[in-house]
Amino acid sequence: MRITVTRTGGFAGLTREATLDTAGRTDAAGLKALARRAIEEAGQGPPAGVPDGFTYRLTAGGRTAHFADPRLTDAQRAIVTAVLKEGA
């Protein structure tokens, strides 16, 4: 599964995107489950953010969700951190 996170906003208004491919990873099952949970926990419609905060788009398993700081769930924060840290 390919998991893509796009982060926009912040003070500088920059966009950062990274993709993590779970193929061949020992933690693939956990990452897939985390991505699915993060998507399920996302609300419907555009996220309510804060000035200079980040907004996120997560795409995994053919599904896409949007969420924003400071209202990230634990699963959303964990998958964003994992993908932006290790994704290319």
**Domain residue ranges in the chain:** 2-86
Q: 33-78: per-residue pLDDT in tens?
A: 999 999 999 987 777 778 889 999 999 999 999 999 888 999 999 9
Look up tokens 């398993």; give the residue: 61
Q: Say if residue 70 is preceded by a cis peptide, omega within 30 of 0.
A: yes
pLDDT value of position 87: 67
Residues in Cβ contact with 3 at an 8 Å cutoff, skipping those fewer than 6 apart: 19, 20, 21, 22, 31, 32, 35, 58, 59, 60, 79, 83, 87
pLDDT value of position 66: 95
